Amino acid sequence: MATVQEKLLVLVALQDLDIMIRECDDKTHTDKLTAMGFTQEGREDLEEARKELVGTIDKALVNRYERTAKRLGRAIVPITGNICLGCFTIIPTSYTSSENRDKIMQCENCGRMFYWPKGS
Amino acid sequence: MSHEELFTLFSKDLFIPELKAKNRDGVLEEMVDQAVEAGVIRDRDVILGMLKNRESLGSTGLGEGVAFPHGRSLAIPTLMALFARSSKGIDYGAIDGKPVKLFFMFIAPPIEKENRYLPALGQVVELIRDETSREELMGVKTFEDFQKIILGGE
C-alpha cells in the first residue's frame, strides 16, 4: 500500500499533467510554442496518462484533489518554511512537525494540500 | 530578454559536455540526475514523469540535431536551464528523424513571477536557428566556451 508521501507525489504529478493539459487548451500558449516549431498533437496521450495516474490512488483522495483544483487552480503546494505557497498565509508550526508527515495536511486558510519535498 | 539574462539561467553545475546515455529516456534521466545533484530539483521522479509526458505530446527534438525538453512542475522552485551535448548523437525521435547532439532542458514552476520561461525557451530556439552557433555548440567542451557562444550572439 502506498504511503501518504507516495500518494502526495502522485497528486503532484497529476497536477503537473493537468497544467500541461490546460496549456494545450490555451491558444495563446500553443501559438507561442507552435511559432517556435514545437508540435502538440498528443493531447489524448496526456489524457491516457492521467487516467493511469488517477488509478494508482484512492478515489476519495482524487475527488478531494479535483474539488480543490476546480476551486483554486492548484490543489497541492510544497511546504517550504512556514508559509502556504498557495495563499501565502502563515502555517502553524505544529503543521510542519515530523509527526504530521504521515498525514494529509491542508492549509487552514485556502484548503490546499501540502506535500513535503524530498530533503525538506 | 538579453543574452546576458538568458545566460544567468545556466550554470556550471547544469552543464554536461558529454552525455553517457544512449537513448531518449536515458538522456532525460541523466539530465534530471544532474539537476538533482546540483540541488535545483525537489523530486526526481516527478520531473522525469513530466518530461516524458511532454515528449508524448510531441517530440521536443526540433530537428538539425537539437532538442528542447521542457515543462512546468511543482517539483522545482525556480526556472532552470541545463545544457547537454552528445558528440555521437542520440536517437531522440526528433521531427526530422536525425540524431540529437544538443539538448537544452528548461523546467519552470507552475507560477513564475517574472514569466521568463517561454521567452527564454524562445530565445534559445532562435539562437539555434543560426547554423554557426549550432556548429560551435556541437564542438563545445567547457562551460566557458558555452558562455562565449551564448553571449556572443548579442
pLDDT by residue (tens digit) across A7-35? Answer: 999 999 999 999 999 999 999 999 999 99
Give the pTM: 0.93
Contact A19 B72 (CB under 8 A): yes
Range name among A59-68, A93-102, B132-141 with the lowest pLDDT average? A93-102
Domain boundaries, chain B: 3-152
Which of B44, B73, B111 lies closest to A16 in CB terms? B73
| Chain A interface, best mutation among B46, B74, B96, B112, by max A CB count within 10 A | B74
C-beta separation of B29 from B90 below 8 A: no
Chain mean pLDDT for chain B: 94
Q: Which CATH class is domain B3-152?
A: alpha beta
**In this structure, which long-range contacts are made by residues B7-10, counting pairs with CB atoms below 8 Å and at least 24 apart in sequence?**
B7/B147, B7/B150, B7/B151, B9/B79, B9/B80, B9/B81, B9/B106, B9/B116, B9/B120, B10/B81, B10/B82, B10/B83, B10/B146, B10/B150
Placement of cell 500500500 in the chain: A1
- Kindly tell me if the per-residue pLDDT of B135 is higher than 50: yes
User: Measured between CB atoms, does B98 come within 8 Å of chain A?
Assistant: no
Q: For B79-104, write each residue's pLDDT tens digit.
A: 999 999 999 999 999 999 999 999 99
Q: Which CATH class is domain A4-115?
A: mainly alpha
Percentage of chain B beyond pLDDT 70 is 99
User: Measured between CB atoms, does A76 come within 8 Å of chain B?
Assistant: yes
User: Measured between CB atoms, does A45 come within 8 Å of chain B?
Assistant: yes
Identify the band that residue A97 occupies on the pLDDT scale cut at 50, 70 and 90: confident
Identify the band that residue B154 occupies on the pLDDT scale cut at 50, 70 and 90: very low
User: Measured between CB atoms, does B110 come within 8 Å of chain A?
Assistant: yes
Contact B74 A16 (CB under 8 A): yes
Domain boundaries, chain A: 4-115
